[in-house]
A and B are shown apart, each in its own frame.
Chain A
Amino acid sequence: MNFTQAIREAIESLSANKMRSGLTMLGIIIGVAAVIAMLAVGAGAQNSITGSISGIGSNLLFVFSGNMQEQVRNEKPLTMDDANAIADPFQAPSVAAVAPVVQGNAEVTFAGETANTSIMGVTPDYQLVRNYELTEGVFISEDDMLARASVAVLGPDLADKLFGRRDGIVGEIIRVEGQPFRVIGLLQSKGGSTFGSQDDVLLAPMTTTTARLIRRTRERIDVIYVQAVNADQVSQASEEVAEVLRQRHRTLLGEDDFTVFSQQDFVATAQTITNVLTIFLGGIAAISLLVGGIGIMNIMLVSVTERTREIGLRKAIGARRRDILIQFLTESSLLSLFGGLIGIGLGYLIAFIVGRVAAASGTPFVPQVSLDAILLATLFSTAVGLFFGLYPANRAAGLEPVEALRYE
């Protein structure tokens, strides 16, 4: 018996019982579709998160106050002076630019339109570190800082909400927490991100913000964005920043009372999270594949019993143990291979639909069906068929011809 014949015969016998074969395959189809869809969505989410993190800027470090791992007593907040010290090229030569930020939420109104948005007090360097382009107007300047000018730069989503358009809004007067601010610039869209829109934002000079919008004691700030000179110097810069802050906060001996995060750290953390998610969902999918495999075993056992006489006859005319084994193994692996192929198609479709739904709800991300996943699913489903077909096939091959022929 050669291979193509075995496959032809298996297809014949499977199609003799189409309904049953179809239902048996369904278990594998669902399992494989789940695996493919989960992997695709997982990969898509990972790409999207990684993308939005790199979209923040390049070669960035983020400095927060507080230590996320250890409890620290007498924690000192980050201040403008800390930011200025980091910006000093003698203390931190690997640092290219520094942008301290205070942030909060505020109600912004214009001509009866109201929007609740996130507001940020920033310095001129913020444009540099965040890589912001303006579609019109100018960014916040040193003069605005010194004069504590009531000026604002808007994100495009906020502009949509307030004005319903994205041009010709420079010069308009809006109210932030009831105080008049003049719009001087409009940011180019950075697109949605997994963390919500980066475009629904209002930027104002740091000095104006702390004086009028977000009151802070002793020039306290929330985050310091630090840009390293180049990609190779990011960890060097991180060390320098930490050293400066340890000196200033007098924590040379104890634990740091601040945290320096690099973009890579964020990416790594996000990847860990999505990996865990993918493994978890993949595990569920694998279980359904297992259930599908048990379904195959069940049906193959029924089929062996039903065809006992046929097996006896085949043996009587010269089929060896191996021939019968191959016959049934071919059937079970074909069953699961076909199920697997259909499942890949279905999983692809599900991933595609998830992508569409995500896009429609404002978090565009592209599910990625990798070749690896397809190969893996094909291989795995065939293996499931082989594994779960082994017991029934072995049973068939071990039948005594006389007994089998006498079976009613």
Chain B
Amino acid sequence: MSAPDAVIRAVELTKTYRMGEVDVHALNGASLEIYRGEVVAITGPSGSGKSTMMNILGCLDRPTSGEYYLDGELVSSLNDDQLASVRNRKVGFVFQSFNLLSRTTALANVELPLRYAGITKGRTDRARQALVAVGLANRIHHRPTELSGGQQQRVAIARALVNDPAMLLADEPTGNLDSHSGKEIMELILTLNKERGTTIIIVTHDPAIAAQTQRTIRIMDGKVEQPEAAR
């Protein structure tokens, strides 16, 4: 059953890496659906395929087999440039290690997705608003090296949101932060979901974080363990 408001519908995804003689099945027939406006946690033991799943959901990678619909569009068949465009318009990434460009200011970092979208009009204003939304109004011209870890992750969240994507993917967003700033980042992410209705998917090892989401999807050995548990 696929509800009309499913942002993500993944059917029997597999991802196989060939390591010399042996095949590693990072994903082995994983299916899931995620609905618009949901906050979902993906958990599972190390090496179970969470990051692999995230990369495919975020259109950074293609599944070896299976179908993946994002916003109703079959993305497993798109070419590289089309995938880039989908990432740019529909997906916001937040990484464990922030991944900001260290040479440029917070503002320039947040502007970057708009640049690749070809937007010039009002670009700086939009980037500034995104920074204000994550509570960095007074750090706009700082470089990443001049910011704390929590602040850097806020810049990364602003960058992920500036294009108003359909969903935000966060792979262990609090993994590099102390518990206090981790908590703040989680609060920020949940606020964004409430205020903007952005669909949010968080990969985490932390049960406390998973508990704050509406639904938890467990991945085991490349498969989704309890598919479609009721909300």
Contact = CB atoms under 8 A, between A and B. Distances in A.
Interface of A: 1-2, 5, 12-13, 16, 309-310, 312-323, 400-402, 405
Nearest to B111: A5
A309 B102 CA distance: 12
B87 A316 contact: yes
Contacts of A315: 60, 84, 87
Nearest to A319: B116
B69 interface: no
Contacts of B120: 2
Interface string B36-77: 000000000000000000010010110000000000000000
B80 interface: yes
Given A16-B103, A320-B85, A321-B81, 5 more contacts: A2-B120, A316-B93, A318-B85, A319-B116, A402-B61
A320 B81 contact: yes
A12 to B, nearest CB: 6
A241 B82 CA distance: 81
B212 interface: no
B95 interface: yes
B104 A12 contact: yes
Contacts of B128: none
Contact of A320 (B84, B95, B112, B159): B84
A309 B144 CA distance: 15
Most B-side CB within 10 Å, residue of A1, A12, A320 = A320
Nearest to B104: A12
B118 A1 contact: yes
A320 to B, nearest CB: 4
Nearest to A17: B103
Contact of A318 (B55, B84, B99, B104): B84
B101 interface: yes
Residue of A1, A316, A317 contacting most chain B CB atoms (<10 Å): A317
A314 B174 CA distance: 22
12 contacts: A12-B104, A313-B101, A316-B58, A316-B87, A316-B93, A317-B88, A317-B116, A318-B85, A319-B84, A320-B116, A321-B81, A402-B60
B141 interface: no
Interface centre among B58, B84, B112, B113 (most CB of A within 10 A): B84
Interface of B: 55, 58, 60-61, 80-81, 84-85, 87-89, 93, 95, 99, 101, 103-104, 112-113, 115-118, 120, 159, 163
B113 A318 contact: yes
A163 B215 CA distance: 112
Contact of B159 (A1, A317, A319): A317
Contacts of B93: 316-317
A316 B87 CA distance: 7
Contacts of A318: 84-85, 87-89, 113, 116-117, 163
Nearest to B162: A317
A200 B74 CA distance: 92
Contacts of B55: 402
Contacts of B159: 317
A4 to B, nearest CB: 10
A309 B113 contact: no
Contacts of B117: 318
A401 B117 CA distance: 18
Nearest to A312: B99
A1 B116 contact: yes
Nearest to B54: A402
Contacts of B58: 316
A317 B112 contact: yes
9 closest cross-chain pairs (CB), A and B: A318-B88, A318-B116, A320-B84, A317-B113, A313-B99, A401-B60, A402-B61, A320-B81, A16-B103
A405 B99 contact: yes
A49 B156 CA distance: 69
Nearest to B52: A402
A323 B117 CA distance: 11
Contact of A401 (B61, B103, B116): B61
A13 B61 CA distance: 28
Contacts of B88: 317-318
Nearest to A403: B61
Contact of B116 (A12, A323, A402): A323
B7 to A, nearest CB: 18
A1 B111 CA distance: 11
Contacts of A5: 115
Contacts of A322: 81
Contacts of A320: 80-81, 84-85, 116
Nearest to B90: A318
B115 A1 contact: yes
B27 to A, nearest CB: 13
A217 B146 CA distance: 97
B81 A13 contact: no
Contacts of A13: 103
A208 B137 CA distance: 103
A316 B85 CA distance: 10
A232 to B, nearest CB: 66
